[in-house]
Structure formats: C-alpha cells, structure tokens
Amino acid sequence: MRNILYISLIFFSIHFSYSQNPNNPLVTKDALGQKKWVDSIYNGLSLQEKIGQLFMVRAMTSANTKDVDGIKALIKNNHIGGIIFSKGGPEKLAKLSNTYQGLSKVPMLMSMDAEWGLSMRLDSTYAFPWNMTLGAIKDKYLVEKAGKHIGEHCKRLGIHFNFGPDVDINTNPNNPIIGNRSFGENREEVTAHALAFMKGLQSAGVMATGKHFPGHGDTETDSHKALPTITFTEKRIDSIELYPYKTLIKNGMESVMVAHLNVPSLEPKPDFPSSLSKAIITDLLKEKMGFEGLIFTDALEMKGVANFSSPGDIDLAAFLAGNDILLISEDVPKAMAKITEAYNAKEITEERLAYSVKKILMAKYKVGLNHYKPIDTTNLISDLNRLEDDILNEELFENAITVVKNDKEVLPIRDLDKKAIAYVKLGDDSGTPFLNELKKYTKVHEVKSDTYGYIKSKLDSYNTVIVGLHRSNANPWKSFSFTPEEIQLLESIAQTHTVILDVFVKPYALLDLPTIENIEGIVVSYQNSEVAQEKSAQIIFGALSAKGKLPVSVGNGLHAGDGIEISSILRLGYTVPERVGIDSEKLHKIDAIAQRAVDEHMTPGIQLLVARKGQIIYNKNFGKHTYDKKSEAVEFNDIYDIASLTKIVATLPLVMEIVEKDDDITINSTLGELLPDYKNSNKANITLKQMLSHYARLKPWIPFYIATLDSAKMPSSEYYSKTPTEIFNIKVTNNLYLKRDYPDSIQKVIKDSDLLKKQGYRYSDLPYYILKKFIETYYDRTLDHLVQTHFYESLGMNFTTYNPYLKFPMKHIVPTENDTYYRHQVVQGYVHDMGAAMQNGVGGHAGVFSNANDIAKIMQMYLQEGFYGGKRYLKPETVDMFNTCYYCNNGNRRGLGFDKPQLGKSGPTCGCLSMKSFGHSGFTGTYTWADPDEELVYVFLANRTYPSSEINMLLRENIRTDIQELIYEAIIN
C-alpha cells in the first residue's frame, strides 16, 4: 500500500514540478533573476527551514509580551514563512513587523485580511466601502481605483498579500458570513468587479487572493463555526461559483484561498472539507482550471476544518491535497513534525516540497523581499489616511447609492415651499450625519419617541416623511434587519404620508418588508458611514445624481441590476476642494487670516464659506458672538445681520422678476412711471437703471432717526412709545415703538430731497427705500412676505428672514452693536440699520438676517443664471442684463444692484476676479461674491460692528479681500 502511495506521489511531484512558465502569475519580468534567487535561497535551506516556509501564522498587533515571544520562537525555531496580522494599530504592526523580519533568515510574507482596507483589522486606518457597496457601482474603473488605494495602503505598511477580493457569488440572502463581502449575485457582475479590484490591488505591488474557493456564496452556515455543505451539482458549480475564478486566473490572479466546505459533487468523501480535498485543489483548481499561483488554506483553526482531525494531521492532509501555504495552524511544531515524518517516509517527495516552497519564494521575490527594507514609520498614520482616499471614498458612495423606487418622481425633492418634511430614524445606530445634511437643504424636523404610536401622531402636520434605517457600520456582519415594530410603523406612516425610505444597511433588509406599495421613494445607501449618510442626503435633494444599481435581488419586484438614474437639479453639494480644482492646503491658509481677524478684535466671530462648481468645499466658523468669554461660539445655524447684502438678496431678485415678467417695465422705466407720487418730483426722470447703478444723483444717506431724537439725543416721546399702541406700532427694538405713519414721512423726505449737483457714481441707500415702496405697491404685499414666498422658501433658505426675533431663539442670532446713540441697548434680533428699523425692520436696503449656507444658495442661483433646485427663478438674459456695467466708461463699476470689480487699483475685491463677477458688501462686515468664469461663490459673514461700529478694521486690514485672493491662489484648474 505504501509503495502504491509512493509511486502516486512521485507522479504527483513530477507533474507539478516547479514552474517558470511565463504565464505563471508569480513569474516576474526578470524571470531569470527570479529563478536564480529562488534556487539559491532554496538550496541554502535545511529540511526544517523548507517545511517552515509552508506556514503562515497569525500575529496580533495588540499582542502582549507572551504572544510576541511566541511568534519570535516560531520564527527562530520553526522558520515560518509568513505572518497574517490581525487586530491592533498600524504603528505597532510596523514595529512588530520590523522586529519579526529581523529575526528571520528568509524575509517573511506579511499578509492581512483587508477586503475593504486595513481597517478590516486595524484601527487608525482607512475604511473603504464593502464589496456589496462596490457591487452597486457601474463604473468598474472606480472599483479598480479602490483596489489600488487599498493596495497602496498595504504596500506602505509592508503587507504583501491581501486576502481579497472575495469573489463569492452571494445567491443566498441568509448567508451569515459572506453577504456584504460579496460583490453581488450576478456572476458576470461579480467577475467584472472582482477583476477590476484585483487589477487595482496588484498594480500597487500587492498580491491579490481570490476567495473562498470553490464558492461560499450560497450557504447558511458560517465555516468559522461548522462545516457548510454545498449541495449543488458539478455543472451548477462550474457555471456559477467557479465562473469568476476562470476569468481571474486568465488575467493573472496570483493566489487563491480554499474554503472549508463540504461539496459532495466535487469530493466523494462524505463531510470532507474542500480545503483538504485533492479532488478540489489539485484535480480541479490546478489541473482542470490551470492555476499555477499560490494556494492558501483558509484558517486551519476554523471549526469547519478543525473538527475534522487533530492538529498536525489537518496540516499534513491540507498539504497533501495540494495547498502551498497552511494558514493559521493550530499547532505549528506538531504540524511540522507530521510533515517531516511524511517526508522521511517518502510520502512527500523533495519535488513536492520544492514545488510549494519555490512558489512561495517566487512570491517573495515578486513583492521585493529579495531586497527587503524595514517599514519606515515616519508619517505612517497620515500616509494611511490620505486626502485622495477621502476623494475616492466620496466618489464610490456617490456612484453606489441606488434609487430603486421613485413613484410620482418624489426624488429628488423639489418645490421646497410646498413641503413640510419630517425625519424618522429607525434602527439602533446614529443617523445624525444624515439629518444634519438634510437640514442644509430645507427645514427638516426629527420626530422621535420610544413609543412608535406617539411618532405617528406627531406626523400629522407633515406631508413628506424621510425614514432612515440606521444600523451599525462597524463590520459587514452586523444586524441589518427591520424589527416587526419598525415595519409596522413604516407601513402606518406610508398609508397617510409621502414616504422616502433610505436604508443604510445591507440591501437584503428590504426583504423584510411585506409590501412597498405605499412607499413612494426607496433609496439603498448600503452602509451607515458618515459619507454614505451625507451623500445620500445630497442625492435626495438633487445636489448629486443617483447612479447605482442593486447588486442583489431584494423582493417586491426589485431585482439585481435595478436602479433608477436621477439627474442632479443643481442644488449645492458638499465635497473636498480637490474635486473641484482647488488645493485644500492652500485654501486652508485662509484659516489664519480669519483667526487673526478674531484674535485682533476686528470682529467677534465669522462664518466663512467657499463653493466652486456647485460644491461647497469650505465652510467654517471662527470666534464667538461677542468678546465675552462666556459668549456662544459661532455655529453654522447662527444668523447674522447681513446689512446691505439685503439689496441683492431681497430687493434685487424681486425687481428682476418684475422686469422679466412685465412688458411695461424695463430698466429704462422712470420713477415717474413706476411710482405716480414721483411724477412731479425732481426724480421723475431717473431710470431704474440709473438708480440700481448708483448713478442717479441721489444722496448717499439720510439719517432719518436723528429727526426723531429729543434735545438729550434720546428717542422723543413725540415719535416713540415704550409700549405698543394703535398709534405707536412699529417695533424698532425691545420696548421701543415708532409712530405708525413715520415710514410715509421717510418716503416724503426722500422724494423731496435735493439731488446731487454733479452726475457721477455715488453709492446710495435711497434707491432701495424707493424700490421697496414700488415692489410693495406692485404686488400689494410686504417686501418680507414677497421675498420669502417668491425665493427663500423654495430655495431652501430657511435661516434667512427679516425680524429674526420672531422666528429664531436669541442664542442663534448674533448681536450687532451696543447702540449708544439711538436705541441705547444691545441690538440683537433687530436690524442694525436705523432706517430699516424705522420701517418695522423691513428695509429694501437692509434688514435681512441669514447664515453663510443660505447666502450661498441665492448666489449660486445667480451664478447658474437664475436656475436652482430644479426651478427657474429668472431667465439667463435677465441675470445677464442686471450683471452688466452700463456706466463703466464713465468710471462707474456698478452693475444693476450688483457691485462689480474695481476699474482701477482699489475697490471692493482682491483685483484678481473676472469682470463678469459680482457681489456686494455690508456695513456689519458681511461680504459675498460670485464669479461665473471660475464658478466660484464666496461668503463672509461677521459682526464687526460689535460692540461699536465706529472703526472698521476688517476693511482697513483688507481681511475679506485678502481671503478672496487666497481662494483664487488655491485654484489648480
């Protein structure tokens, strides 16, 4: 019997002799040099050192001294050929790896399970999307980039083998161990994604490993705990499970990991693990499929195989079956003794041993271990968490997130002025990034309670409900299902409301739903990472397009390959600067200028925003509301008095709208034509174009409030009351009410005022007093109501309003000045400008409060020539008409309402913008500018007037324009 075995093993050894076939994936371009090195190393090894090369043991980077000493002993005494690193951190791994390599006669292969990046095993490292998420991406080049980035991280950390990609075809939704680790259920798509990932990984110089051969996708048993059985026919396995391996082998896959599976159609022995099967490894993988790369066992400690026999016997059986590397042996010394015994008994020939050991050495040469260098730990953490990784991660999720249902085109959400939106969180993990991102677009209120019945009762005032299912993103095996109570709540809400369901879990969660009939919109976001939540919110509101497709079927008529493409409706998105051609390092130099402004008391606080190409790339806050140490730090939802920015965000859009829709009104219409009261005045022939260009000979300013003060320069009782009455009903500020007819007096003073003697550019607030009256007369509505209903509500400018004290908590309204000349109190929640205050807080020239995010929206609307969020507010020709300098030849840089870049050396900008650019500044320190040529929006909000408005250090020190200049210097392309 032993002779027969010996003869068969001799045949085996000859048949599988060490191959320098150029098609062998382990062969390098320098094949002769590689062979020379391999033969030299092999010939210098003792039998024990050769056998030791077959073993790859696990090392924890969080290991204690005892564990570390154990690994050192295996290196010194058993000459192991490699290590698979597990839990811990990268810096500790690097140090341990250098230590271990220093003890080894032959440099060892370092490996890791890093299917979605090093973070699969290590802290402080980058987590890319899971395979199921990547499987939703149509663009395979992005998947290849993911593989390359992961490979670069492995390479940087001295990892030579990544045990990925997982090429299992997950045709069983109940698979407990694969699931999210699979690219999907379609063999062609899994193959295409796996091939792209493999190419990326190997292009970085890291070896890829296809697993789990012959296919672990259709089982309900975890091989870590027991031996799963695959009951399919050989024909079915060849057609489905083996399909990706055939393609990857043809394209140079360097290694395969064999699973612990019972496959009766491929291995006749009952309950016999595939990892120990000669029929599966040698006959099928090597001979029939022609694979010449390295073959790894799955971990030999796993119950799927460990229950088969005792330590040592398993390792011997695995080697005899055709495996090259024995992964995580339960007992290396015992296993080596068994293999040595078999060698001495001629059960294993020298040729058989050389076949595997030389392949291992070939791999070592290919990954550069013939010129081994220790891992450099300098900047290691930053190298493993790069900006380009952030960029790619965003791209991956943007391309993966999938819309699978969109009844009545509920997505993306349009007509914000008609929507009352609530958010309901299901699941046991955080949905805060999702909710915060949703709130950037419009009012979204979270309705929550431990009692689902209470949630349902609180939704009556909403017509649209966004439901998010959020469960742990810690790993792919976490729970993903709806609970029965969650399903009941979802069905109840869907019966009475328009519902958008967003699942931040494995798509199989949708299988839990008995029906989706009443749910209008369904989005699959795959993971509950911060990026997934933010990008999904941006897709829901149309800042991004939806491009993904389902990688698996999920019931209710939703099949693999389904995915509804939705185009962006040009709302602002949020990303990193490099994606829109801005150097983030250069851009962040503006931090220092903003901080200097705060530190040197030029302004207590600042909101600062930059957007380019429709994406907000910088949005930061500096300082506090006041200089008081106990004052609130500036937050994104705090609102500022934007002063004269009111002109272009309130009055101007309404004037543009009227000119566009009314054929009888043009920019050449005169005041006498627009307002009959002016027919017989000295201003009757002033045109709208002249007024908006500050070229109408109007006085720059009239201090209306001074006439209402008494001899002590206090508000006169003739004009004011401390309590509201029928006569005194204009609220100027706390406990101060102006006579109701005084705004009419203001209009009369303006109408009767003298004109400047000389025609020329002179900035004036007076046109906006006049235009306020014109607009309100034209529409028979107040200015504040008109701008809200015509623009702000549908633009999603929910933090923009006149008289914010009526709508917002004072803690979110930044104070403007400690007024010692008129109101004699801190001005907070009420407009700073005295003339606007005397018009009940609603001026055409001042009075609006806002935050940077909202100002960016209306500036982006202008930049997009009147279009935003799927709605056309103004025609392009209207925007162009008002963004034209009509009197440049006369030394007047102004457009119609918009400020324009300086014509000479000094002016309102850094002097580095195109002449198409436009914007405005405000007395309180506010500033905004847009540049069509560079597709750029810049917003700077401040309260430099606090505590006193007398000295304008922001202007004197060129803070706003210096920041603007740095923004332009940061433009790459």
Looking at the annotation, which residues are catalytic? 224, 298
Measured CA to CA, the distance from residue 857 to residue 242 in angstroms comes to 52
Question: Could you give the C-alpha distances from 287 to 12, 215, 283, 802, in angstroms and in order?
Answer: 11, 18, 5, 79
Residue 425's nearest CA partner among 533, 332, 312, 328 is: 533
Measured CA to CA, the distance from residue 941 to residue 964 in angstroms comes to 13
How many CB atoms neighbour CB 947 within 10 A?
18
Residue 278 corresponds to which tokens in the numbers above?
């000669």
Measured CA to CA, the distance from residue 900 to residue 883 in angstroms comes to 8
Taking a C-beta distance cutoff of 8 angstroms, is the pair 170, 185 a contact? yes
Describe the crossing of helices 350-366 and 2-15 by its angle, rounded to 10 degrees: 30
Residue 65 corresponds to which tokens in the numbers above?
């001294």
CB burial of residue 630 (10 Å; 0-12, 13-18, 19+): exposed
Residue 393's nearest CA partner among 551, 526, 231 is: 526
Between CA 578 and CA 377, with CA 388 as vertex, the angle to 5 degrees is 135
Measured CA to CA, the distance from residue 223 to residue 48 in angstroms comes to 31
Measured CA to CA, the distance from residue 883 to residue 401 in angstroms comes to 39
Measured CA to CA, the distance from residue 647 to residue 897 in angstroms comes to 7
Residue 278's nearest CA partner among 293, 286, 270 is: 286
Residue 884's nearest CA partner among 893, 875, 871 is: 893
Measured CA to CA, the distance from residue 724 to residue 736 in angstroms comes to 8
Taking a C-beta distance cutoff of 8 angstroms, is the pair 410, 520 a contact? yes
Between CA 524 and CA 531, with CA 527 as vertex, the angle to 5 degrees is 100
Task: Write out the E strands in 644-796.
Answer: 720-721, 728-733, 736-739
Measured CA to CA, the distance from residue 783 to residue 277 in angstroms comes to 82
Residues paired with residue 503 on neighbouring β-strands, in sequence order: 469, 524
